[in-house]
Amino acid sequence: MYVNDVAVQRIEDIPRIVAEYASDGAAITGGDPSVVAERVKAVADLLKREFGDGFHIHMYTHILNLNSRRTGILASSKVDEVRIHVISKEQAVGREKYVKALAAAGKTVGVEVPALPGFERRIAEAINHLAPYISFVNINELDVSETNIERLKASGYKTAGLNVAGSLEAARKIASLVTVPVHICTGRTKDIVQIGTRLFRHAMTTAGPNEYVQDDGTVAYDEEGNHPRSPRARRIRIKLTTGQKTLEVL
């Protein structure tokens, strides 16, 4: 298990790391968390006990991995929201009962999918098929990373910076074809808001007396204890922590 890329050996250690980030909620992802539904329930129940009912918890799962047992465990858990990955009506047919059961248990249920150019109509058909049981759709501009770039290229996709070319246009097309309220998340928004806010909150919580947290989440500090904005500060470093790596630039 990892919390914000920090390895965790015991479920009991999770609240400590969550507190370091001053988090208002948690997203449980994977892999697919529903495969270890008992662990999801244990983690969600612990977080609610530690931080209260207002601490919002959502999780992701692929519709193909839902079954009666897993759905029952998730329905009885303290998870507030379930976001379902589905990219074709064929994947959804016969599994509507699991989506319906989660909604009936009081979970907010939605669909979250990447915007795949060329698959717009198939994705829209799947969403509309599940429309009676879901309340929202999140469509994400498709990111490019070291782990997926070769697969994307092999599938014929071209890159545009850190995203797949045409993905944002595909998201807009899917949004125009579905009957459920849609949110589109751009790659830039994810970087600035999601990752940036995470870095900023962590820095604000853990910064030392000689560290000044800047608006982008980086930390300026000097080794002599002078405030970074003081004219006496001579040796200033910028520290940016991403995951388990720290980059320092003099």
The model's pLDDT over 83-93, given as tens digits with 9 standing for 90+, comes to: 999 999 999 99
Q: Report the number of secondary-structure helices (H) and strands (E) in the chain.
A: 10, 14
Last residue of a domain, one of 169, 195, 221: 195
101-158: pLDDT as tens digits:
999 999 999 999 999 999 999 999 999 999 999 999 999 999 998 889 999 999 999 9
**Residues 158 and 229 reside in one and the same domain:** no
**Mean pLDDT computed over every residue of the chain:** 88
Q: Which residues are CB-neighbours of 76 under 8 A, at least 6 positions away?
A: 41, 105
44, pLDDT greater than 50 = yes
Structure tokens given for 65: 């991995």
**Residues 154 and 230 reside in one and the same domain:** no
**Residues 175 and 231 reside in one and the same domain:** no
Question: Is residue 200 in some structural domain?
Answer: no
> Given this model, what pLDDT does residue 224 score?
62
Question: Is residue 36 in some structural domain?
Answer: yes
Q: Count CB atoms within 10 A of the CB of residue 5.
A: 11
Helices 167-177 and 120-130 pack at an angle, to 10 degrees, of 40
Core vs surface per residue 196-231: b (16+ CB within 10 A) or e: bebbbbbbeeeeeebbbbeeebbbbbbeeebebeee
Total domain count, the chain: 2
Query: What domain range is 94 assigned to?
Result: 2-195
Question: Is residue 19 in some structural domain?
Answer: yes
With 0.95 as the threshold, say if the pTM is over it: no
Q: What proportion of the chain, given as a percentage, has pLDDT over 90?
A: 66
**Residues 59 and 156 reside in one and the same domain:** yes
**Residues 112 and 215 reside in one and the same domain:** no
> Given this model, what pLDDT does residue 201 score?
85
209-247: pLDDT as tens digits:
778 888 777 888 766 655 555 444 334 444 444 444 444
> Given this model, what pLDDT does residue 247 score?
45
189-202: pLDDT as tens digits:
877 777 778 888 88
Read off the pLDDT of each residue in 17-34 and give the average, rounded to a whole number. Answer: 92
**Residues 185 and 217 reside in one and the same domain:** no
Note whether 115 and 141 are within 8 A (CB): yes
Question: Is residue 85 in some structural domain?
Answer: yes
Question: Is residue 201 in some structural domain?
Answer: no
**Residues 140 and 240 reside in one and the same domain:** no
